Amino acid sequence: MKVLIDRKKCTLCGICVDVCPFAAIAVGETTIEVSDDCTLCGMCVDTCEFRALTLPEVGTGPAADLATYRGLWVFAEWREGVVHRVSHELLSTGRRLADKLGVSLAAVLLGYQLNEDAIRELIAHGADTVYVVDHPELAHFRDDAYAKVVVELVREKRPEILLAGATAIGRSFIPRVAASLGTGLTADCTELDVNEEGLLLQTRPAFGGNVMATIICPNQRPQMATVRPKVMKPLRRPDHQGETVPVTVPDACLASRIEVLEVVPEKDQTAKLTEADAIVSGGRGLQKPENFVLIEELAQLLRAAVGASRGAVEEGWIAPSHQVGQTGRTVSPALYMAVGIAGAIQHLVGMQSSNVIVAVNKDPMAPIFEVATYGVVADLFEFIPAFVRRIKQERGDSG
């Protein structure tokens, strides 16, 4: 299986040769050949201005009853008595897509002793229907029970699209739902849209975040995707109306082979990076562990969480739970300030989808400036105190 070449459209310009990560394309005076090294990654397809390259069709043809699947669903995540905000973000996006497709939007809520307010909030974010499965066996998340319930509901109601938050819970059981249903799943999408044929276009970062890939699931239903929290914007429609549909599922769905022995909330709540609206991160540019107080002071003023680059964590200046990056946490807060951080790819991957990024670094060539909305080329030991003074001045604080 290799990428397909339309030789009538190909002009032998050779741009695809440079872009191929596996050196699988060879262009000569009059020929173009793709070797067996082609892995169907798709890098060349988008680069070709003449649209001469396409990927072969996936799968073995559409499932017979594709058209009978209608409706867009969002899995609403309930934990510790509240619905996680990612569900509201997803419903807002879901509303937009459902309107485009001309179908209804439903939320699926699993848990125990689910309250009215939570359900109403789901409707207020756009759900036309909320399927409520309230049962003591669902009081605490377990992969198999949650997956079986959702699978049962999907088989019964046949939505064409199912979205869920890429949280610890979502990333854990949604793949099982997809596998059980025999359908495709795309994780960590950063953009969702629908095309003219009504197919869900799922866009996500690839190759460590250096490129974006758009993915479709043409032949299976429902088309499934997970989205990271804080990537989509919640939009509240307080006047929106919807209905609540309590659902009972067969006992077999609730049976689980897993026994939850203990749940221990993390003592160190100070990190909470993934939930923070603002983060101030420090890196090797701070030079000494004592200098982290600069970051902490600024973070406190901005009511932000404290983050760190891998370099700072490896030096032992701050605990690993604060690490932002490929092997740390991925965050996308409204404000991300990178102080004394060079911006290695592994760090950028963890924060580049933040809304407003501020970079402070004395090296103008630091890669962090590539992704910063506001770049400050300055000595952080001078700039940060100056910025802190400015903020305090506004608030009328002394000193």
Q: Give the integer Cα–Cα distance in Å for 176 and 24.
A: 35
Q: Which one of 103-111, 113-121, 126-134, 386-394 is the stretch in contact with other proteins (CB under 8 A)? A: 386-394
Please select the residue that binds other proteins; options are 71, 94, 111, 184, rule is CB under 8 A. Answer: 184
**Binding status of residue 58 toward other proteins by CB under 8 A:** yes
**Binding status of residue 149 toward other proteins by CB under 8 A:** no
As given in the structure block, the two tokens for residue 325 are 């990056």
Residues 155-174 that bind other proteins (CB under 8 A): 167-169, 171-173
**Binding status of residue 319 toward other proteins by CB under 8 A:** no
Number of chain positions touching other proteins (CB under 8 A): 115
- Identify which of residues 5 and 147 has a Cβ nearer to other proteins in the complex: 147
Angle at 186 between CA 371 and CA 131, to 5 degrees: 115
Please select the residue that binds other proteins; options are 6, 18, 33, 117, rule is CB under 8 A. Answer: 18
Please select the residue that binds other proteins; options are 290, 390, 396, 399, rule is CB under 8 A. Answer: 390
**190 neighbors 353 (Cβ within 8 angstroms):** yes
**Binding status of residue 115 toward other proteins by CB under 8 A:** no
Q: Give the integer Cα–Cα distance in Å for 312 and 289.
A: 8
- Identify which of residues 239 and 262 has a Cβ nearer to other proteins in the complex: 262
Output phi, psi for 117, to 5 deg: -60, -45
As given in the structure block, the two tokens for residue 335 are 């404000």
Please select the residue that binds other proteins; options are 70, 85, 158, 176, rule is CB under 8 A. Answer: 176
- Identify which of residues 130 and 232 has a Cβ nearer to other proteins in the complex: 232
Please select the residue that binds other proteins; options are 1, 4, 26, 245, rule is CB under 8 A. Answer: 1
**Binding status of residue 282 toward other proteins by CB under 8 A:** no
**Binding status of residue 183 toward other proteins by CB under 8 A:** yes
Q: What is the CA radius of gyration of the chain?
A: 24
* Residues 6 or more apart in contact with residue 296 via CB below 8 angstroms: 306
Shortest distance in whole angstroms from residue 113 CB to other proteins: 19
DSSP state of 323: B
**Binding status of residue 82 toward other proteins by CB under 8 A:** no
Q: Give the integer Cα–Cα distance in Å for 345 and 205.
A: 13
String of b and e for 220-237 (b: at least 16 CB within 10 Å)? Answer: bbbbbbbbbbbbbebeee
For the stretch 346-349, contacts whose Cβ atoms lie closer than 8 Å and that sit 24 or more positions apart, written own/partner, are 346/208, 346/310, 347/283, 347/309, 347/310, 348/209, 349/205, 349/208, 349/209, 349/325
- Which of 184, 191, 278 has the alpha carbon at shortest distance from 232? 191
Shortest distance in whole angstroms from residue 123 CB to other proteins: 25
Please select the residue that binds other proteins; options are 10, 13, 188, 362, rule is CB under 8 A. Answer: 188
Residues 258-277 that bind other proteins (CB under 8 A): 258-267, 274-275, 277
- Identify which of residues 94 and 165 has a Cβ nearer to other proteins in the complex: 165
Cα end-to-end span (Å), the chain: 68
**104 neighbors 130 (Cβ within 8 angstroms):** no
**Binding status of residue 371 toward other proteins by CB under 8 A:** yes
Shortest distance in whole angstroms from residue 291 CB to other proteins: 16
Please select the residue that binds other proteins; options are 52, 149, 185, 331, rule is CB under 8 A. Answer: 185
**Binding status of residue 101 toward other proteins by CB under 8 A:** no
**Binding status of residue 213 toward other proteins by CB under 8 A:** yes
**Binding status of residue 344 toward other proteins by CB under 8 A:** yes
SS (H, E, C) 69-125: CCCEEEEECEECCEECHHHHHHHHHHHHHHHHHCCCEEEEEEECCCCHHHHHHHHHC
**Binding status of residue 85 toward other proteins by CB under 8 A:** no
